[in-house]
A = this chain, B = another copy of it.
């Protein structure tokens, strides 16, 4: 379900956060479904429980999951999460467009990248 990419320069906990965001937003893990326990997932990925703990704390902070002491972590999906993610993507797109503009790429040329790329 989760795979760590050690070639990725981002920290492990961040990769885990992103992966679970995807799984939740795409409905692969559904509302109120139980997340893997901190210790189980740590064992499975051969990393330290503290790292999972950090990822789960972040997911809870962002509203993706909720924790019940003694029972586990559960998915707390709502439409607001999807909207938040969309907004994040809008911002990233803006930043790239700005970066393109800064080196003299016109809006038309930029849009062209999206057209002829036909990105998978």
Contacts and interface: CB of A to CB of B under 8 A. Distances in A.
A15 B100 CA distance: 17
Contacts of A107: 114
A86 interface: yes
Contact of A114 (B22, B92, B114, B119): B114
**Main SS of chain A's interface residues?**
helix
Interface of A: 22, 25-26, 82, 85-86, 89-90, 92-94, 96-100, 102-105, 107, 110-111, 113-114, 117, 119-120
B93 A96 contact: yes
Contacts of A94: 117, 119
Given A85-B103, A90-B113, A94-B117, 5 more contacts: A25-B103, A26-B103, A89-B99, A93-B96, A107-B114
